[in-house]
Amino acid sequence: MVVPYKHEPFTDFTIEENRKEMEAALKLVGGELGKEYPLIIGGERVMTEDKFVSENPGNRKQVVGYVSKATQDHAEKAHKIADETFETWRKWKPEHRANVLYRASAMIRRRKHEFSAYLVYEAGKPWKEADADTAEAIDFLEYYARQINRLKNGMPINSREIEDNQFNYIPLGVGVTISPWNFAFAIMAGTVAGPMVAGNTILLKPATTTPVVAYKFMEVLEEAGMPAGVVNYIPGSGAEIGDYLVDHPRTRFINFTGSRDVGVRIYERAAKVQKGQKWLKRVIAEMGGKDTIVVDKEADLELAAESIVSSAFGFSGQKCSACSRAVIHEDVYDQVLDRAVELTKELTVGATFNDNSNFMGPVNDQAAFDKVMKYVEIGKEEGRLMAGGEGDDSEGYFVKPTIFADIDPEARLMQEEIFGPVVAFTKAKDFDHALEIANNTDYGLTGAVISNNRARLEQAREDFHVGNLYFNRGCTGAIVGYQPFGGFNMSGTDSKAGGPDYLLHFLQPKTVTDQF
């Protein structure tokens, strides 16, 4: 019998044995860098001339891998194979599909640090962040495998004397998973595993800067017993194959995680019924955030400063959940700001593949570096620079953790997703005003309130309009099965990854009445 779900524990790298194991994994993966990777279509390896160069963002000269780039012809072939494979995969017993995920998860757990090492090289993650990403990938596989077992017999409904009514869930068909680079393993694996275990077949288009870790995941799925053609690996550019896959009349659903602009584009395109299309496509689009921590006047101010700093600068602020706005009651504003600045100035920034002591690694690539530095310049015009404000892209893409004070709630720094280590502070005259500012964005993903006043926390529970709300802690770090994750408004369709309803997005209920 399968034991009840429990999330994968994080590794404590202050323990020497763990540190040594991670160093050994980094060495092992270091020896694998620079390889060429093919597409995987129906289990077949297809090497293309044209390749993505996946670089280490902490050392731009280091190539992590050369990854084959799918064309529209490859996408078409993969689509056909996924369509054919659906006819057999959908008939697999749900518990047998779940067994593939249990096996894959066990294999990843045994090679946990190896996967984290890929994330350190390919995404520039600090060890702790890489370890959390790998743990979350394991969690998604374990959790969704259990969830399909919960749904496999449908739901009870009523029957009259002369009939037997049954209500069951069946899969949808071929889905396209389009994943981001920032949780290059967890989100990629979760957005594949959920629909897959539900009986759908998948075309996986991973982010172009982190395709190698996705290839390693494909190898695990295959070794764990996934039949050829169930998940097809087709990295490619958004412009060349992204639109093609979204528009394809045989695409049944799109499971997207990424930026608001791309999510909205996919949503609009998928709404158009194409020639030969027999259904309305489903779109699951989890998008950006502009997340706020509110600090009340009655609050643990040390906790407030620590929560803001860790949520703003963990993984260089490159989380959709990252705190990019701190809204502080005017009575305690200066104290919280000063302490956050002090804590921020203690943080170290540098490469993480050769040094675990750096709190922050690089940002993702040149485009991310340029974007963050552009916002630093905007911030200098919109407010007071209190910490950071500098970047260095000579070896890798490093930006110092940056705090701006006294930013107007309507300013660009308070409204636009930066996706880097920049947080804007603003003053609220009372708690109502703080919530008003917190809700004043197009997004609605995460938020936190630091307060010792129960009535105000309860007020926030009702009025702070975000998909994931936290009290007296930071606003990042949702755990699969404990804090189902997804946002409101322009943060997306609120699919709640890692939640009990998630698989229903990839299933359709069918009612059968047998009259006697």
Q: Indicate if 323 belongs to the active site.
A: no
- Give the active site residue among 8, 320, 323, 382: 320
**Least distance to ligand NAD from the beta carbon of 282, Å?**
15
In contact, 182 and 317? CB cutoff 8 Å: no
Rounded to an integer, what distance in angstroms lies between the CA atom of residue 431 and that of residue 419?
A: 27
Cβ distance to ligand NAD smaller for residue 182 or 344: 182
In contact, 363 and 372? CB cutoff 8 Å: yes
Q: Which residue is nearest to ligand NAD (CB)?
A: 238
Rounded to an integer, what distance in angstroms lies between the CA atom of residue 284 and that of residue 286?
A: 7
Q: Indicate if 416 belongs to the active site.
A: no
Q: Locate tokens 């981001």: which residue? A: 180
> Beta strands 468-471 and 507-515: pairing type?
unpaired
Residue 319 makes contact with ligand A1AUG by CB under 6 A? yes
Radius of gyration of the chain measured on its C-alpha atoms: 23
Task: Give which of 67, 444, 422 is closest to 236, Cα–Cα.
Answer: 67
Sign of CA dihedral 334, 335, 336, 339: positive
Q: Tell me the three-class secondary structure of 348-398, residue by residue.
A: CECCCCCCCCCCECCCCCHHHHHHHHHHHHHHHHHCEEEECCCEECCCCCE
Residue 125 makes contact with ligand A1AUG by CB under 6 A? no
Residue 179 makes contact with ligand A1AUG by CB under 6 A? no
Residue 181 makes contact with ligand NAD by CB under 6 A? yes
Residue 444 makes contact with ligand NAD by CB under 6 A? no
Cβ distance to ligand A1AUG smaller for residue 254 or 478: 478
Contacts with ligand NAD, 190-229, as mask; x by CB under 6 A: ---------------x-xx---------------------
Q: Find the binding residues for ligand NAD in span 308-337 (CB under 6 A).
A: 320
Rounded to an integer, what distance in angstroms lies between the CA atom of residue 341 and that of residue 313?
A: 12
**Least distance to ligand NAD from the beta carbon of 250, Å?**
16
From the list ligand A1AUG, ligand NAD, none, partner contacted by residue 201 (C-beta under 5 to 8 A by kind):
none
Ordered strands of the 251-257 beta sheet: 44-46, 39-41, 231-233, 201-205, 174-178, 251-257, 282-286
Binding-site member from 70, 174, 196, 287 for ligand NAD (CB under 6 A): 287
46-54, 127-135, 254-262, 431-439 -> range binding ligand NAD (CB under 6 A): 254-262
Task: Give which of 168, 365, 117, 144 is closest to 255, Cα–Cα.
Answer: 144
Binding-site member from 140, 419, 431, 470 for ligand NAD (CB under 6 A): 419
Task: Give which of 211, 220, 190 is closest to 202, Cα–Cα.
Answer: 190
Q: Find the binding residues for ligand A1AUG in span 475-494 (CB under 6 A).
A: 476-478, 485
Question: Which stretches of the chain bind ligand NAD, using CB under 6 A?
Answer: 178-183, 187, 205, 207-208, 238, 242-243, 246, 257-259, 262, 265-266, 286-289, 320, 417, 419, 445, 487, 491-492
Active site residues: 286, 320
Question: Which stretches of the chain bind ligand A1AUG, using CB under 6 A?
Answer: 182-183, 319-321, 476-478, 485
